[in-house]
Amino acid sequence: KQEVTQIPAALSVPEGENLVLNCSFTDSAIYNLQWFRQDPGKGLTSLLLIQSSQREQTSGRLNASLDKSSGRSTLYIAASQPGDSATYLCAPYTSGTYKYIFGTGTRLKVLA
């Protein structure tokens, strides 16, 4: 059974810092992995989708890396802004299943 852990659970940083959010998963037989952002009271927005054959995926100030064999993914946020404040969740899609399994997320607060 796939289990997903995200560290840290919460993070508060001043504006402008570069951040690293960590995601680990127990079953490395994944098809891909998505990183999502969730604002309070809202649904989730997909930020990056990284295929199992890829090592990295970039979108603007966001960069996601994937080390499938070790069951780890990292979301790097460059030059953080107050608008980046949200909960960030990772979700691997396990091969042979029909589901994304989510971690509990990292609650990020960027202070102006």
**Of residues 18 and 99, the one with the C-beta less far from other proteins:** 99
73 CB-contact burial (10 Å; exposed 0-12 / middle 13-18 / buried 19+): buried
* Shortest separation between residue 88's beta carbon and other proteins, angstroms: 11
99 touches 75 (CB < 8 A): no
* Shortest separation between residue 94's beta carbon and other proteins, angstroms: 9
* Shortest separation between residue 104's beta carbon and other proteins, angstroms: 5
**Of residues 80 and 94, the one with the C-beta less far from other proteins:** 94
**Of residues 98 and 112, the one with the C-beta less far from other proteins:** 98
**Of residues 76 and 102, the one with the C-beta less far from other proteins:** 102
Task: Write out the residues near other proteins by the rule CB under 8 A.
Answer: 4, 31-32, 34, 36, 41-46, 49, 89, 91, 93, 97-105
